[in-house]
Amino acid sequence: MPTGRATLDLGAIDAVVLDTDGVITDTARTHAAAWKRAFDELLREQGRRDSVRLPPFDVEADYVRFVDGRSREDGARAFLDSRGIVLPRQGRNGTEALESLLDRKTRYFLDEVRAHGVQAFPSTVALLHELRRHRTGIAAVSASRNCGPVLRAAGVDDLVDARVDGLDSQRLGLAGKPDPALFLEAAQRLGVPPGRCALIEDALVGIEAGHRGGFGTVIGVDRHGRIRQDMMGRGAHVVVRDLADLTVIGSHDGTRHPVV
């Protein structure tokens, strides 16, 4: 199915699980900018040490391929592996350590949030209000440990019934995407089986996780129109450019309610 309008049938699902960064809040690019700053510093230092020039982190290609949707550690390791760089957890003789890289990325991300705030996508906010009007369960999921502060900063934390984030992943030992553990935990907290849940994601690993987790409807959000085919290949049932293109069919009378 081409990227375009799609339908969310509340007669077929009882809850909706949404990724946070890039679906609820416009923070995927904030994460990407923070990663670029942290990775580029590392690459420059590594290049100086080895007397070579290492190509900088590519926000378009590298972020989507290696980092987007993954936990901090999984994303960092995936990118560093692609460059043949292995970081110890503990730095030695002034060398970088993985934990310090991760902490620096988080600091850069929070600096951006404090300086510029967080915006929720208007179409997503409209969808959340529509789902609440229909008493449909809503969960926000993120691999980030900063999901709570981000939702509060965007003013949408009171629109979700459950949240599963990087802190839960660490505490409960949940595997990161593309493993479906985070999403399955969200469905469990909502008290709804995955087959009766819709999942909305903008990251390829998240789409794959929804497919592997057996979610009844997997909706991809491809805001730039670049990865629709990849999303369909990973298991998305439909792909839209924005959630304004998603029409909710009410479970009571079958009437259509465009999300505007």
- H-run or E-run covering 252: none
- State the CB neighbour count (10 A cutoff) for residue 227: 22
Q: What is the pLDDT of residue 112?
A: 87
Q: What is the pLDDT of residue 115?
A: 87
Alpha-carbon dihedral angle through residues 124, 130, 134, 135, given to the nearest 10 degrees: 50
Q: What is the pLDDT of residue 24?
A: 98
Contact 187, 193 (CB under 8 A): yes
Alpha-carbon dihedral angle through residues 43, 49, 54, 59, given to the nearest 10 degrees: 0
Please say if the pLDDT value at position 83 is more than 80: yes
Residue that is written with structure tokens 């946070």 in the block: 20
Q: Pairing mode, if any, of strands 246-249 and 256-258?
A: antiparallel
Please say if the pLDDT value at position 94 is more than 80: no
Q: Please provide the distance, in angstroms rounded to a whole number, between the alpha carbons at the two ends of the chain.
A: 22
Q: Tens digit of pLDDT for each residue in 23-73?
A: 999 998 899 999 999 999 999 998 998 899 999 999 989 998 999 888 889
Q: What is the C-alpha R_g of the chain? A: 19
Q: Tens digit of pLDDT for each residue in 158-205?
A: 999 999 999 999 999 999 999 999 999 999 999 999 999 999 999 999
The token duo for 25 is 């809040």
Q: Determine the Cα angle at 226 with ends 223 and 229, to 5°.
A: 110
Q: What is the pLDDT of residue 97?
A: 87
The answer, yes or no, to whether the previous bond of 178 is cis (omega within 30 of 0) is yes
How far, in whole angstroms, is CA 18 from its chain's centroid?
8
Ordered domains of the chain (ranges, CATH)? 6-27+119-258 (3.40.50.1000), 29-116 (1.10.150)
Q: Is 19 a catalytic residue?
A: yes
The single residue of 14, 21, 74, 222 carrying the catalytic annotation is: 21
Q: What is the pLDDT of residue 198?
A: 98
Q: Tens digit of pLDDT for each residue in 104-120?
A: 999 999 998 888 889 99
The single residue of 9, 14, 19, 58 carrying the catalytic annotation is: 19
At 164, is the secondary structure helix, strand, or coil? strand
Contact 164, 184 (CB under 8 A): no
pTM for the predicted model, two decimal places: 0.84
